[in-house]
Amino acid sequence: MTAEIPVIAIDGPSASGKGTVAALVATRLGWHYLDSGSLYRIVALAAVRSGIDLQAGNELAELAQRLPARFCDGRVLLDGDDVTDAIRSEASSAGASRIAAFPAVRGALLERQRAYRVAPGLVAEGRDMGSVVFPQAGLKVYLTASVESRAQRRYKQLIEKGLPVTLHDLLQDLRERDARDAGRAVAPLQQCADALLLDTTAMTIDQAVDRIVSWATERFAI
């Protein structure tokens, strides 16, 4: 029965806006939402707090398997502690990208992600939703934007939160992260052959949401 539950898999590079867009699409459709990146961010944060080296793949995988994390009312809890804002820091984001390169970590989180597929449907976003986690998804979208546009968006978000950051550093970080995500041996970031391309460089969030909802309405006859 799980295989009959529709899935929209949205993949794309960091700061492309896929998280915001995916969450709004899920709300519009009345479906569930999976922010797969949060799971990796939580592992990265938990590792730092536990003193685990971000290069220790086996230890990270063990941590991912017993991760005391849950999502509640839009908040992210780690062992009862609200880490919603903490996992959105640049440090947690960079850490997530690094640990995601370990096959053991990805394997530990795979079934946890697939468990989010429940009726009436799921909108899942990340970097390997369509290629690995939900390869049979009825609708796959590769959502991207120019690196300059993504850096500007991230810069605005961080400045609004009062965090010290420079646009130059963000550009460099995004370029390095893109290369790392696309070049890793396991589940590299890529556009699936059957995924629809959505470049949001010149689009508003609402326009991107409207486009995906339109595709979903046609694809799933809803």
Residues 59-74 have pLDDT tens digits of 999 999 888 888 777 7
Number of domains in the chain: 1
14 domain residue, yes or no: yes
H or E element that contains 34: strand 32-35
CA angle 16, 140, 205 (to 5 degrees): 35
The predicted structure's pLDDT at residue 1: 55
**Does residue 175 contact residue 120 with C-beta atoms inside 8 Å?**
no
**Closest Cα to residue 54, out of 105, 14, 112, 88?**
105
Per-residue pLDDT tens digits for 90-105? 788 889 988 988 999 9
Q: Is 74 inside a domain boundary?
A: yes
Q: Is residue 88 in a domain? A: yes
Amino acid identity of residue 45, one-letter, is L
Strand order in the sheet with 196-199: 32-35, 122-126, 7-11, 139-144, 196-199
H-run or E-run covering 29: helix 18-29
**pLDDT (average), residues 14-41:** 92
CA distance 29 to 202: 24
What is the span of the domain harbouring residue 98?
2-217
Q: Look up the pTM and report it.
A: 0.84
**Is the omega angle on the peptide bond into residue 6 within 30 degrees of 0, that is, cis?**
no
String of DSSP letters for 57-114: HHHHHHHHHT--EEEETTEEEETTEE-TTGGGSHHHHHHHHHHTT-HHHHHHHHHHHH
Q: Does residue 48 fall inside a structural domain?
A: yes
Q: Is 222 inside a domain boundary?
A: no
Q: Which residues does 23 contact at the CB level (< 8 Å), separation at least 6? A: 33, 35, 123
Task: Give the mean pLDDT of 129-137.
Answer: 95
Instruction: Write down the mean pLDDT value for the chain.
Output: 91
Share above pLDDT 70 across residues of the chain, in percent, rounded to a whole number: 100
Angstrom distances, CA of residue 129 to CA of 26, 100, 123, 169:
15, 13, 10, 28
State the CATH number of the domain containing residue 179: 3.40.50.300
How confident is residue 108, by pLDDT bands cut at 50, 70 and 90? very high
Spatial strand order in the sheet of 81-82: 69-72, 75-78, 81-82
* Residue that has been written with the tokens 């970031």 in this structure: 189
What does the block give as tokens for 184? 């890793």
